[in-house]
Chain A
Amino acid sequence: MTTTAVAHETLSTAQAINRALHDAMTEDPAVLMLGEDVGPLGGVFRVTDGLTATFGEDRCFDTPLAEAGIAGFAVGLAMNGMRPVVEMQFDAFAYPAFEQVVSHIAKMRNRTRGRVELPLVIRVPYAGGIGGVEHHCDSSESYYAHTPGLHVVTPSNPSDAYSLLRSAIASPDPVIFLEPKKLYWAKGEVALGDRREPGIGTAVVRRQGTDATLIAYGPAVPVAMEAAEEAAREGRSLQVVDLRSIVPFDDATVCAAVESTGRAVVIAEAAGFASVASEIAARVSERCFHSLSAPVRRVTGFDIPYPPPKLEHVQLPSVARILDAVDDLQWEDA
């Protein structure tokens, strides 16, 4: 894959995703955008704004209100030469599509010994922090990550949103593209163009640090960055790794980072039990054991249904909670 960034622009995450869709649709007529309210309305988060006007009804269109149907329909589209990008309106409203995702989208390549590829992307606005009522703030990544056959990625900033989505659309494998809702309006510098490096499967070190490593993804990354900033004021140097890609998982980058500091805290919004955060903690413990000065800690959502708006602050990993976990990393033994 080549790196041919053509221009830089300041965009919000929603705009960056919109631009990635626009650019991919311009380059490849097989790319289709479909879902609920993605046509004239431009999606409830306006991520598909203008695509129907630009590319016409055949390229960006509203479907009947049926997520299982949308996902199954996308399978057929992909089997016959299209590259569908599906929008699920909210995390919890993707659940009706679960059977298609788990039983077919994830398994088709393996079932057919690679003869049938499903180059499709399912975009899911996910996670909390927006004061949404029940079913509008789920962190559903662990369900997908637990299903072999799916790539699962989640950007933490507009630039990654653009490049990861370009990579996802270009991928021969199905990709679950998780969009942190609370970051839709966050702005940042975006390098445009057919830019797929670093691609799916690579984590990046967002902040250098020497005392401990914070491992985060998606909506938790800005909180981890803030915590590192605060820790620096308290005299502690924290490194931050942004996974970007949950599946495939970048063991090399994560382990190198943890080995360099000898301490790790994993941060995620999702309930911690049997979660992506559990997997990360387990992998790091297994692989970096001899470099670790303390057990790997997790700061995650509690094992409760996502709270109503007025209590969501209790659930979300906070700077204080992260720094408490860092404080627990057996410094007295150092």
Chain B
Amino acid sequence: MLLDPDGRPTAAGAARLPAGEELLRGLAGMITARRFNDQASALVRQGRLAVYPSSHGQEGCQVAAAQVLDDGDWLFPTYRDTAAAVARGVDPVEVLGLLKGDWHSGYDPYERRVAPLTTPLATQLPHAVGVAHAARLRGEGTVVLAMCGDGATSEGDFHEALNFAAVFRAPVVFFVQNNQYAISVPLARQTAAPTLAHKGVGYGIPGEQVDGNDLAALLDVLSGAVERARAGEGPQLVEGRTYRMQAHTNADDATRYRADGEVAAWVARDPLVRLETYLRTDGILDDARAAAFADAAEQVARRTRDGINRDVVPDPDDLFRYVYSEPTSQLVEQLALVHDELSRDESSRDESSRGEQSRAEAHR
């Protein structure tokens, strides 16, 4: 911990606090991330998104993960890490592609070097190791930062990925956001280890735990891990201790499994408040700068709102277009059937007659 929950530098903080500009950048990122999270949640309530797993409360982890990487590095997010993708510069509307329901993923992974957000937990971690290893083979100085949750550390893929990374000395930083829950299941049901950082030991990977609501400490620890990985010291494991302040998704009812008091205690450790308090107390942040940050966040929220509220009519042809590099003859046939149905729907609408009638006539 470099800043205590009240925003005061700790003893370690006095010596190791990142530069003021880095912290300001982090604060700006967190303000945007919070605004983006809350905007996306509102869009679910308005029926514009199918679902949204919010990282509200975890913005320190989200922003730090993006901020410690160079442009040439890769980020492998898990399904909740939409705000991290935004912090890395992916278009906020495209980030929500999966959750909007038009398609399974909204952005080009190569553009900002952010792997697709998908839901099968921990499965992205071995991919991250492969990308890192390929980068080594190609002589690139790329580091891959791969994210997952506390629950995902129980999956076999988590363990296999750590082991592969260690055996191949792949430049991967595994960043576990321990937000204390996997939907309703508390950390104690995932592990009996003293910390999740301990999970590196069995694989020969250094593990470090950091206060995930202390952006200064996150930048310090994660950038150290990234630098070591880049220098050829092999994979690193970082556990950020944080908290999912809201329900798992809009569809979840967190009151079924945790007490309000527990949530309140973590709200008092809000990562945004902590950093802003420090920056203001130390005179690094003034009102003008704070207003500019809020303004930038508002612009992202507006862009998100406008983009998600724009009705795009998804094209059924897309369902057949990308399954293979060339569609099989079966897919060609099946798409023709869809076209035939659509054109009959169309003509039945034109004649304002029943769809069923045109269906019957087409065959008789």
Contact (Cβ within 8 A) A133 B119: yes
Contacts of B119 in A (CB 8 A): 133-136
Query: Does B182 make an interface contact (CB < 8 A)?
Result: yes
Judge whether B316 and A309 touch: CB under 8 Å. Answer: no
A128 contacts partner chain B, Cβ-Cβ < 8 Å: no
A234 interface contact, C-beta 8 A: yes
Check if A44 sits within 8 Å of B183, measured CB to CB.
Answer: yes
B167, CB-defined interface residue at 8 Å? no
A321 at the interface (CB under 8 A from B): yes
What bracket does the count of chain B residues touching chain A fall in? Answer: 35 or more
Q: Which residues of A contact B182 (CB under 8 A)?
A: 36-37, 65
Which of B54-62, B70-78, B261-269, B330-338 is found at the contact surface with chain A?
B330-338
Tell me whether A5 is interfacial, beta carbon within 8 Å: no
> Is residue B202 within 8 Å, beta carbon to beta carbon, of the partner chain?
no
Mark contacts of A315-334 with chain B using CB atoms, 8 A cut-off: 1 yes-contact digit, 0 otherwise.
10000110110011000000
State whether the Cβ of B279 lies closer than 8 Å to any Cβ in chain A: no
A-facing residues in B325-364 (Cβ within 8 Å): 328, 330-331, 334, 338, 341, 355-356, 359-360, 362-364
Q: Which residues of A contact B104 (CB under 8 A)?
A: 133-134, 305, 308
Known: A134-B104, A230-B356, A327-B364. A39 touches B316 (CB 8 A): no
Known: A62-B185, A321-B341. A40 touches B256 (CB 8 A): yes
Q: Are B341 and A320 in contact (CB-based, < 8 A)?
A: yes
Instruction: Name the CB-closest residue of A to B103.
Output: A308
A327 to B185, CA, bound (A): 52
Residues of the B chain whose Cβ atoms lie less than 8 Å from the Cβ of A307: 319
How many residues of chain A get a CB closer than 8 Å to chain B's CBs? Answer: 45
Q: Chain B: which residue is nearest A64 at the CB level?
A: B154
Q: Which residues from B are CB-within-8-Å of A37?
A: 182-185
Q: Which of B310-333 contact A (CB under 8 A)?
A: 314, 316, 318-320, 323, 328, 330-331
Bound: A267/B330 CA distance, A: 18
- CB of B194 within 8 Å of the partner chain: no
Measured CB to CB, the nearest residue on chain B to A93 is: B120
Nearest chain A residue, comparing its CB with the CB of B311: A310
Over the window 67-101 of chain A, the binary record of Cβ atoms lying under 8 Å from chain B Cβ atoms (1 yes, 0 no) is 11100000000000000000000001101100000
- B364: A residues at CB distance < 8 A: 327
Given A133-B119, A320-B341, A302:B185 Cβ within 8 A = no
Q: Is A294 located at the chain interface by the 8 A CB criterion?
A: no
Report yes or no: B314 in contact with A133, Cβ–Cβ below 8 A: no
Pairwise interchain contact A131-B331, C-beta atoms closer than 8 A: no
Complex contact A36–B183 (CB within 8 A): yes
Min C-beta distance of A14 to chain B, whole Å: 14
Residues of B within 8 A of A131 (CB): 50, 101
Please tell me if the beta carbons of A314 and B319 are within 8 angstroms of each other in the complex. yes
* A-B pairs with lowest CB-CB distance, top 9: A309-B101, A41-B184, A64-B154, A327-B363, A65-B151, A134-B104, A65-B154, A66-B154, A302-B334
Known: A40-B257, A134-B98. 4 other contacts (CB 8 A): A44-B251, A304-B334, A311-B318, A323-B359
